[in-house]
Every structure is written in C-alpha cells, then in structure tokens.
Structure 1
Amino acid sequence: MATEAHPYYKKLHHLTVCMVPHDEDRRVWEQLTKVRTQLRDPGLYRWPPHANLLYPFLDIRPTPESGDTTPRNAINMDIVDGLKRVCHLYDPFTVRLEKFGTFGGSKRGVLWIYPDSRPRGNGGDEAHDAEPLVALQASLEAQFPMCMDQRKTGAFSPHITVSHFADLKCAREAQALVETEWPTDLSFQVREVYLMQRLGDDGQFERVATIGLAGHETIVHRQPLRFANMPESEEEWVRRERMAMKDRRNKGSRGHRRQRESIRTGRPSRVKDSPVVIEAKRAMREAKREMLLAENNGEPPETAKIHEAIFRAKEEELRAFQNLQGQAQSEKQVTSTPATNESTSS
C-alpha cells in the first residue's frame, strides 16, 4: 500500500533515501575517496559515496495532526514503516563498480560510476529493470509516489557521483584519466539502504535510519550516525570547491533569471556580496546548524532557546550588513550617473 500524499508531507533536499557502501567495505571506500580527492570533488565532505533512490525525500517529522508529544527530533514512523515494507521484500545483492560515465554540457560536467547490480552469468543481456537496485528503486517510488524525481529523464539511471566539473569536456578528460588505473574487481554487497539527513548548509549527510533488506534489521538511530569512513570536518579546499560549484550554478540559473528580471523591470541585478556579507552569511549558517543540532539532539529547552537567540542575532546582523551594502551600492550608482544639462527656452 502506497504512502498517502499527506498535506504536511513536503520534499526536502536535506533528506534522501540512498544506497551507500557499508562501513566494513573499506577497500571500496578507500578507492572512491582516493579518486574523489584526486578530482577535487566538492561533495567530498557533504556526501558519502552514494546512489540516490528517493531524493529529495519527505519531511520525516511527525505530522501535527497526530497529536504526538514526542521530542522534536522524533521521526514519523509511518515513513520508516513504508521503507521497511518495501526493503524487506528484496534479498541482499552485489554491486560492482566497473564502468564510468559522464553527463552535463557547456556549463556543468559530472563524472559518475555505474553501480551494476546485474547478476553475473547473464552476460549483460538482461533487461535494465531486472537489476535488483533498479527494481528496489521502482518499488520505493510506488510506495512513495510523490517522490518521482529520479525519473526526470524518463527512467531511473543509477549512478554514484565521483566529482563535479565546470563542463562536460573536463568531466570526460577526468574519465579517461581515472579509467586507466581503476581496479576491475571492486564490488560490495547491499544489505541495507539508508534514510539520511543533513543539518544546515555546511552539514554532512548522516544516517537517521538504517533500513535492512530481507533478513536484516531496520534501526532508527537515537542520534544521526556518521559513516565511519567520512571526514570529521570539511577541509578548506573542499569548502572552496563547493562554493565555486555553487557560484557556477548561480551564474548559470539564477544569474540568467536576474538578468531577465533586470531587463524587464529596469532595476539593476543583485550585486556580488562583499567579504563582510559573505562572512556574515557563514556565521548565520553555522549558528543555524548549531540550533538545528540542538533541536535534533533533544537538548533542554533553555539550551535550545539560547541557540535560537544566537541564530536570530546572526540573522539580524546579516540583514544589517546587507542593508549597508545596498545603501553603498545605491550611492555609487547615483554618483556614477552622468549629470544631464537641462536647457531652458526663452
């Protein structure tokens, strides 16, 4: 039975249901982490090596109509039960990491590796939908029909992202380089999938629940659980790469929209943030992350209020700096506008 589309359910990009190599598959983690580091993957800290099955996923908090008085970090068990019902129908299966691929264009490039779950001995002739991973994903979509985003191109195409690039040409060059040294016998067994959550813009995706396949346990974690092979902090180069990727995406999407809006309204498009505003944004995001962590960890109400007050203060500080930047820009435009000579008729 599919999960009903409740009006409270909304999809969030900091929640996902995905496949990740088990912590014990150290060789797989080492190989993927090595190549992601070599290729300067912007997602190295934020994302474990994964294949999204349902992303973005539903808000997992209990619905307000339930009258639930559990802590704010509680999980809607209807969602967990829906995942469990589907996953318990599938036996564990093996995934092999042998083939790379790319997608993108002139403004974006992605290198990925194909998580091939086709049983050996079929010679690769079996239909794509016969793959256990593909079949599992289709069943999860049937259970959660509001989460069809993995089929934007018409069919689910399982992939594990290796790194992001400025364009497709760069991604293909990286593919040619990686394929020469990639081991041909890299594989792991899928015994479970994960419901994962990221807290704050600078956070890392961690396990909220482990959903076992047939014969394996489903566990809702008391606290979000980090993968053992993931970095404990974001290195500066990773943050720079992530910000650069974000900037490219902004210029490629919002930038064009702002330009069109500027032409339509006659108002100038948004100016680039000053270093002071950028630093204020970082401080606000960090404060927000600490506030969300306090809520998620079930901190005492007085502690949660302190974190919320800090976040609100950083929010006001950012707003003040943005206002100052806007005033400075307005004054600059006024002073840079050429004066017009008005002639009077006699």
Structure 2
Amino acid sequence: MAATCKLLYPFLEPSFDKESDQSKEEQYSEFREQLSITLTSVATQCKPFDVEIDTFGTFGGKDRGVLWAHPKSKYSAPAADYEVKAGTFTPHMTLSHYANITDALEAKEVESKWESTSFHVPEIYLLQRKGDEGQFKILAKIPLGLDKEDEVKMFDEPLAFPAMPLEEEEWVYNERMTMKNRRRTISSVGGEAKVT
C-alpha cells in the first residue's frame, strides 16, 4: 500500500495567547515540541523516495514570469495540483524569475536540450524565516521512514544553508513581496489563485 506524504504550503506560524500565564518563549517552546511530535509521526509513514526532473513549466503574465521544474516521483501524479485555501498549488522547483511570461516561455526552450536527472530524498527540512527579511534557515531535519535509531532533529539556533548569502538580493526580495501581496489579495477575496 502506497503512502501519501503531504507538505504544508505556504507557511505555518505559531499563535501566541496573550492571556496565557506562559511567556511567549514558553509558548514557542511548546509549539516546537508539538511540531516535533507531529513531524515524527508523519516521517514514520513517509519512506525515502527518488525524484525525477524531466519537464519544465511556467507561471506568469505581462508583469512577471517564472520558469520551474516539475519534480516527479512514484508517489505523486504528474503535474498534480493540490487544493489550498486560496486555490491550487502546483508542486514545483523555481529555477528563475523573468520580467514577463514571454521571457519565461523563451527560457523554457532549454527543456528540448535537457537530459532527465534524478536524485534520492532521504530527509526533508523544516525551514524558518522570521518576518520578511533574510533567508530561510533550517529549523529541523526530518529523516523519512523513521525507525528507532532516527529522530527529528530540531535546531535551537536555525542553520543557514552553506554558501547562501544571509540577505537576499533586492530583486528577489521585491519579487517575494509582490507574490506575498498577491496571495494576501487572493485570500481576502476568497477567489481562485490567478496570476496576472
């Protein structure tokens, strides 16, 4: 029987009870502990798997374009979209951002020369970014198919990715803020996710 593994998208934030007798730090510690328990439970059910990259896609419109790779495994349907609160989410790996969809479609021509590649996924990371500044850091390392020797490793001080700059380039930050505002607008009107 095949297991289904689901990842959260886009973000999970702790909520703090202002009227609690516990401090914010104590509540956050409790949140992390519960998160670790939940991740351990899920990780035992999701075995390591292989991912293949052999197709590309695009998102965008007249003011932005994105070229992305579609990760496939025997556990996911090709080009599957997942329902989320404000529409659908397409599992993808962003390769590059462009000024518009036309430029992204031109870049997609690389697919005709692309040779399929695959890699093994024995673990996943839980990422954290505080506020809108800085890069994501590794908050937890979650081995898949956990057994008695394995455990979810939560880091007290989140780890930076090696060789990644601590601050985003300005254009990346601006693009991310544009997408965040778009998601906020979609959520507030309760409509389907549409890119303009």
TM-score of the superposition, structure 1-length normalised? 0.42
Residue number in structure 2 paired with 1:109: 65
CA distance in 1, matches of 2:9, 2:62: 25
Q: 1:245 to 1:57 in 2, by over 3 A?
A: closer
**Is 1:218 aligned with 2:152?**
yes
Query: Is this contact kept in 2: 1:110–1:164, CA < 8 A?
Result: yes
Q: 1:212 to 1:75 in 2, by over 3 A?
A: farther
**Is 1:198 aligned with 2:132?**
no
CA distance in 1, matches of 2:22, 2:44: 27
CA distance in 1, matches of 2:145, 2:19: 32
The CA RMSD measured in Å over matched residues stands at 3.7
- Please give the secondary structure, in 1, of the residue aligned with 2:29: coil
1:181 offset after TM fit, Å? 4.8
CA distance in 2, matches of 1:75, 1:183: 46
Q: 1:241 to 1:57 in 2, by over 3 A?
A: closer
**Is 1:56 aligned with 2:10?**
yes
CA distance in 1, matches of 2:30, 2:137: 14
Residue number in structure 2 paired with 1:241: 171
Which of 77, 80, 96 lines up with 1:128 in the alignment? 77
Residue number in structure 2 paired with 1:171: 104
1:118 offset after TM fit, Å? 2.0
- Please give the secondary structure, in 2, of the residue aligned with 1:84: helix
1:56 offset after TM fit, Å? 3.0
**Is 1:100 aligned with 2:49?**
no
CA distance in 1, matches of 2:160, 2:90: 26
Unaligned runs of 5+ residues in structure 1 are 1-51, 120-126, 142-147, 254-346
CA distance in 2, matches of 1:82, 1:60: 14
Query: Is this contact kept in 2: 1:196–1:209, CA < 8 A?
Result: yes
- Please give the secondary structure, in 2, of the residue aligned with 1:60: coil
- Please give the secondary structure, in 2, of the residue aligned with 1:220: strand
1:161 offset after TM fit, Å? 0.9
Which of 116, 120, 138 lines up with 1:207 in the alignment? 138
Query: Is this contact kept in 1: 2:53–2:69, CA < 8 A?
Result: yes
- Once the two structures are superposed, residues 81-129 of structure 1 have per-residue CA deviations (whole angstroms, 9 ceiling, x without a partner) of 222212211111001122111122222211110111127xxxxxxx829
Structure 1 stretches of at least 4 aligned residues deviating more than 6 Å after TM superposition: none
Query: Is this contact kept in 2: 1:62–1:68, CA < 8 A?
Result: no
Bigger radius of gyration: 1
TM-score of the superposition, structure 2-length normalised? 0.69
CA distance in 2, matches of 1:210, 1:62: 24
Alignment length, in residue pairs? 172
Query: Is this contact kept in 2: 1:60–1:75, CA < 8 A?
Result: no
- Please give the secondary structure, in 2, of the residue aligned with 1:204: coil
1:67 offset after TM fit, Å? 4.6
Query: Is this contact kept in 2: 1:165–1:171, CA < 8 A?
Result: yes
The structure that is strand-richer by fraction is 2
CA distance in 2, matches of 1:196, 1:242: 18
Query: Is this contact kept in 2: 1:61–1:74, CA < 8 A?
Result: no
CA distance in 1, matches of 2:54, 2:138: 26
1:79 offset after TM fit, Å? 2.5
